[in-house]
Structure 1
Amino acid sequence: MTTRPDTTPAADPDSRIDADVAVVGGGAAGLSAATFVARYGLETTVLDGGKAAITQCAHVENYLGFPAGIAPDRLLELGRTQVETEGGQVVDERVTAVRPADSDGSEPDAFAVETTSGELIADRVVVAAAYDGEVLDPLADAVADTHADAEASDDADGSPPEPFVPTDGGRTEVPGLYVAGWMSDETVHQVAVSVGHGAQVGLALARDDMSERYWPAVGERYVDWVVHDGRYGGDGWDAHVDEWFEREMLPADGDLDQALVERAREDLKAEFLGRCVTPEERSRRDRRGQRRLLDALDDDVIGAYVAETDIDPTEPTGGRSEESTAGPAGARPEGDR
């Protein structure tokens, strides 16, 4: 049991849905949104047309966690790898249009995502492609899109106009259609902001899905994190959760199916308990995370660092010799200055 979906439209062999979520754009915002929805449990496809705004940057120097910066292409490659690690897929395919799958519906129950080689039917769509704003032409009136004036109002550096699409947490006026990153009027043109907005959009989409399966109060409780073992559970915990659930989760009118109420209660408990991580598992995940980062580094950089820091590769913790640790705290190898 969990609040995350155990079955989705794309997993139904009788459904016309190819992907639960199609993300248009493989830049910082799109990959961030895709990571969140894939982790939530929706079948996610990123359609990367190769025109990410971040590639206009020579070197990303203000992204938290990279003290000396990181090349834009390397950052995107790490993002693609993370999406795929979480079960999503990234396809090198340019999208030409997003339209209602049913031509007569202004509020579609599915979207047709047209590409240069075919069509993909998605239950929900996240558009994160500032340089391909024309993909929203079929839905321009509904989303109050302003990109039609882009050619006349481009900035001197060729940037699209701002704001692009009015959004509320990434949600547009069209149910099931979201906009992330620079295309939204909620952001500015900075990669860290776009990544954060992509995460916000992915979280909003997951919460919308949960709200549909339960009710909004439950959906708004969804978060994506893990906690130290013992944070939940123990003596009296079930009774405490029951009291909280009755007080915070149930609508005032009480107009809910009782079976749904009990399922939500138990699923939330299972979700809370499932977030707990033992010290051993924390250590395993930390080590795995470090190794995955190493995969993204050039071999010659790793080799030079090992040589400069006198690391013994036979030590399981990457131990250094006494000479290499004798310097002042915080000293860095000469080649890293």
Structure 2
Amino acid sequence: MRDVLIVGGGVSGLAAGIFTARAGLDTLVVDGGESILARNASLENYPGFPDGIDARLYLRMAREQAKSAGCKFELGHVTSAEPIDDTDLEAGFRVDTEGGEPLEARRLIAASWSDSEWLTPLDVGREQRGSKYMVRVDDGGRTAVDGVYAAGRIAGEPHQTIVAAGHGAKVGLAAIHDSDAAFYHDWVAPEGYFTGRDREVPPGCEEIDDEERLERDERARETMREWLAGPFDDEPTMHPSVETE
């Protein structure tokens, strides 16, 4: 029984997982394959990359960050989900995958917008928009079913990477809030920020001294140098409707 099961290993799912895993929730991401972002020739509207960044490299980096946060990953295609006990949603949900063993989790986050048919048994409130189905959610990404959330494009958010990441993080925080996890802010603060005011360091926060800060800074810069040392060879995936030789 996982605490959180995220369906979709794209931007919104990864962002949600980074937050839930860092909050100590046992988080599994079921990745059905390639994110639609892989079709992007160059990601150029994401803050922090002044001249843009290769979209596939960005995805690889975000996935590595989710792993570092504690997310587990499983490759698979989810076919359906249903409550373990129809009379008690706190008992969690059972998720079936194509060719794999059923999975169980206390909370589900739908973050794969191209296919939401697997949500049909849960009656979360899907509505058709063009050729796709979206899911109605509240401000925190909560659906009509307690314990089930939707993040990113499937929740009707604009089709932009930065929006998908932000909404995924917001949904992850909602799942944390609804769980038993003690969590305040995902902050790393300078030494004395809280304790210097005679306050306890809140859950989800930590204080670090200058030596630790400089060590983390150097480690972060070294990691970025390694990721960006040379060109990334993966090429964009063309839309399936386009004929290629």
TM range (shorter): 0.7 to 0.9
User: Across the two proteins, how many residue pairs are aligned to each other?
Assistant: 231
Distance 2:72 2:184 in 1: 23
Secondary structure at 1:281 match in 2: helix
Return the offset for 1:295.
3.3
Q: For residues 77-96 of structure 1, what are the alpha-carbon distances to aligned partners after superposition, in whole Å with 9 as ceiling and x for unaligned?
A: 11110111111112222211
Among 41, 55, 63, the residue aligned to 1:72: 55
Distance 2:126 2:231 in 1: 47
Superposition TM-score, scaled by structure 2 size: 0.85
Verify: 1:286 aligned to 2:211, yes or no. no
Partners of 2:125 and 2:135 within 8 A in 1: no
Partners of 1:113 and 1:120 within 8 A in 2: yes
Distance 2:62 2:90 in 1: 30
Structure 2 residue aligned with 1:144: 125
Structure 1 residue aligned with 2:198: 237
Where in structure 2 are there 5+ consecutive unaligned residues?
A: 233-245
Greater relative contact order structure (CA < 8 Å, 6+ sep):
2
Instruction: Give the percent of matched residue pairs that are identical in Structure 1 and Structure 2.
Output: 37
Return the offset for 1:29.
0.1
Return the offset for 1:270.
4.4
Secondary structure at 1:96 match in 2: strand
Among 154, 162, 169, the residue aligned to 2:140: 169
Verify: 1:101 aligned to 2:87, yes or no. no
Distance 2:116 2:153 in 1: 10
Superposition TM-score, scaled by structure 1 size: 0.63
Q: Tell which structure's C-alpha radius of gyration is larger.
A: 1
Return the offset for 1:35.
0.3
Structure 1 residue aligned with 2:177: 207
Return the offset for 1:292.
2.0
Verify: 1:223 aligned to 2:205, yes or no. no
Structure 2 residue aligned with 1:319: none
Return the offset for 1:293.
2.1
1:229 aligned partner, one-letter code: E
Runs of 4+ in structure 1 deviating by more than 6 angstroms, as ranges, are: none
Secondary structure at 2:212 match in 1: helix
Secondary structure at 1:275 match in 2: strand
Structure 2 residue aligned with 1:191: 161
Distance 1:208 1:285 in 2: 31
Q: For residues 304-330 of structure 1, what are the alpha-carbon distances to aligned partners after superposition, in whole Å with 9 as ceiling and x for unaligned?
A: xxxxxxxxxxxxxxxxxxxxxxxxxxx
CA separation of 1:270 and 1:138: change in aligned 2, threshold 3 A: same
Where in structure 1 are there 5+ consecutive unaligned residues?
A: 1-16, 155-159, 214-218, 239-268, 302-337
Secondary structure at 1:288 match in 2: helix
Partners of 2:185 and 2:205 within 8 A in 1: no
CA separation of 1:274 and 1:34: change in aligned 2, threshold 3 A: closer
Secondary structure at 2:187 match in 1: coil
